[in-house]
């Protein structure tokens, strides 16, 4: 046990002095060492963990001519639309009518399921954020692409009015305000 | 049994040396901990599994706050580029900025732009401490008037010859049109690669990325 010996050294018996009781003041330093190491651990973790990370995004070149745009097989496409209140709607192929609702927890299974059923060379995910979805939704879905190992995905701006209407109808049917 | 009493030695260890070492290590870590100056613009960024650290230098930072206001700033170490940037904007938009106003942007640390061009002169007249970000309208990024595209074009000339990291730091609550406007500003300037600041998060166990990381390490 740690000691700091602060007791007086050597008792001297003075003439006629009563032998006073000298209490030894030994300080145990073990808790001090524990505290020191706790503080060290705190500083190690806060300095290394606090660095923010960066997600790289590559935008495709904006081509106007339809023949230069990448051709995708309709059967190998999964379209994911982001709506308000963290809601997701997805459909496969060309047909927006068959869109299903999902949330961020369930979308991983949907993506992995579609990925398993499709050729790796053809599998494309088209992401369509809408006007009301939050930035957090957009970053989360892009992150989901990395987590699920989707090699080809596209972030598309134009939610067509047809699709927007369908979303409104689905929301009204499900009572989403 | 032979009655040998083993001489009992004292088992007290002197901890003062251990204590000294602990506090020396602590001082080392305290001195090497860099405390970042708190940003004037409070932004809550989303988290992602990316492991690449966000760059600190040669950064043109576009901040989108929760009210969809867009702010632009340049990393403080790039002072010559800041001076060039404000000069380029001054000449291309004929704003008539005085040297003091230009210095207000290029010399002050953590300075940012958060107003359209017509308000820029009065914005730079005030020192950064007097203005709160809530009062500013942000740089316009809508499709009719995307002023951010002009700022990016000026930044490109300022950073010409060197590396420019375009970094977007958005708040979780901002909606997509603001990010879309920023994206369009980049595309207008043919800047197809940019980075998005996120908080680090662990890779979900059992996911594809997790398996790929494991097989790479093993």
Dist. CA B93–CA B183, nearest whole Å: 22
Tokens of A101: 């609702």
Kindly state whether residue A21 falls inside one of the protein's structural domains: no
Would you say residue A107 lies in a domain? Answer: yes
Q: What is the largest CA-CA distance in chain B?
A: 106
Give pTM, 2 decimals.
0.72
Residue B179 domain boundaries: 47-200
Residue A68 lies in a domain: no
Which of B149, B174, B175, B215 to probe the A interface (max A CBs under 10 A)? Answer: B175
Q: Which of B175, B183, B172 is nearest to A84 (CA)?
A: B175
Total tally of structural domains belonging to chain A: 1
- The tens place of each residue's pLDDT in chain A, 177 residues long, gives 455 555 555 555 555 555 667 788 888 888 989 999 999 998 888 776 667 788 888 777 655 555 445 666 777 888 888 887 888 888 887 777 777 787 778 888 888 888 888 777 778 888 888 888 888 888 888 888 888 888 888 888 767 777 777 777 777 777 654
Which residues have a Cβ under 8 Å from the Cβ of A163 and sit 6 or more positions away?
A81, A96, A128
User: CA–CA separation, B200 vs A162, rounded Å?
Assistant: 38
Nearest-Cα residue of chain A relative to residue B200: A53
B211, part of any domain: no
- Whether A89 is covered by a domain: the verdict is yes
The boundaries of the domain holding residue A150 are 73-174
Task: Please give the backbone phi and psi of residue B33, each rounded to the nearest 5 degrees, phi first.
Answer: -80, 120
Close Cβ partners of B183 (under 8 Å, ≥ 6 residues apart): A59, A157
Complex ipTM tops 0.90: no
In a domain, B42, yes or no: no
Q: Which of B12, B26, B207 is closest, CB to CB, to A1?
A: B12
Instruction: Provide the number of structural domains found in chain B.
Output: 1
Longest dimension (CA), chain A: 114
Residue at A151 is within a domain: yes
Tell whether B156 is covered by a domain: yes
- Quickly count helices (H) and strands (E) in chain B: 7, 6
Contacts of B75 (CB under 8 A, 6+ apart): B56, B57, B58, B59, B60, B61
Any domain includes B40: no
Residues of A in contact with B175 (CB under 8 A): 131-135
Which residue in chain B is spatially nearest to A31 when comparing CA positions? B19
Closest residue on chain B to A61 (Cα):
B192
CATH code for position A116:
3.30.420.270
Whether A60 is in a domain gets the answer: no
- Is residue A146 in some structural domain? yes
Assess if residue B99 is contained within a domain.
yes
For residue range B148-193, list pLDDT tens digits in order: 888 888 888 888 888 888 888 888 888 888 888 888 888 888 888 8
Q: Is residue B88 part of a domain?
A: yes
Q: Give a yes or no: residue B1 inside a domain.
A: no
* Residue B180 resides in a domain: yes
């Amino acid at each position: 046990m740690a000691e700091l010996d602060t007791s007086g050294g050597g008792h001297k018996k003075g003439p006629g002095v009563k032998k006073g009781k000298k209490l030894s003041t030994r300080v145990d330093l073990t808790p001090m060492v524990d505290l020191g190491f706790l503080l060290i651990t705190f500083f190690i973790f806060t300095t290394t963990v606090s660095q923010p990370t960066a997600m790289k995004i590559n935008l495709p070149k904006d081509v106007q001519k339809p023949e230069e745009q990448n051709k995708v097989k309709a059967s190998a496409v999964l379209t994911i639309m982001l709506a308000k209140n963290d809601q997701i709607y997805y459909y496969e192929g060309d047909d927006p009518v068959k869109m299903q609702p999902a949330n961020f927890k369930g979308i991983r299974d949907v993506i992995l399921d579609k990925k398993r059923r499709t050729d790796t060379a053809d599998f494309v995910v088209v992401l369509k954020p809408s006007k009301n979805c939050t930035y957090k939704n957009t970053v989360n879905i892009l992150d989901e692409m990395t987590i699920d190992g989707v090699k080809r995905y596209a972030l598309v701006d134009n939610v067509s009015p047809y699709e927007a209407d369908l979303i409104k109808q689905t929301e009204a049917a499900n009572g989403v305000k | 049994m032979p009655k040998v009493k083993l001489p009992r030695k004292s088992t007290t260890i002197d901890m003062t040396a251990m204590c000294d070492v602990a506090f020396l290590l602590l001082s080392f870590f305290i001195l090497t901990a860099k405390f970042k100056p708190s940003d004037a613009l409070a932004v809550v960024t989303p988290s992602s599994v990316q492991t690449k650290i966000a760059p600190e230098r040669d950064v043109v930072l576009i901040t989108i706050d929760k009210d969809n206001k867009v702010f632009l700033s340049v990393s403080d170490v790039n002072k010559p580029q800041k001076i060039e940037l404000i000069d380029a904007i001054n000449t291309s938009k004929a704003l008539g900025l005085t040297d003091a106003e230009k210095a207000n942007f290029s010399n002050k640390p953590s300075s940012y732009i958060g107003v359209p061009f017509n308000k820029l002169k009065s914005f730079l007249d005030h020192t950064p401490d007097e203005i709160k970000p809530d009062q500013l309208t942000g740089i316009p990024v809508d499709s009719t008037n995307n002023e951010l595209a002009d700022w990016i074009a000026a930044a490109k000339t300022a950073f010409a010859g060197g590396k420019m990291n375009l970094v977007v730091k958005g708040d979780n609550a901002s909606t997509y049109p603001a990010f879309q406007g920023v994206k369009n500003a980049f595309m207008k300037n043919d800047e197809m690669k940019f980075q998005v600041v996120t908080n680090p998060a662990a890779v979900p166990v059992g996911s594809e990325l997790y398996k790929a990381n494991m097989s790479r390490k093993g």
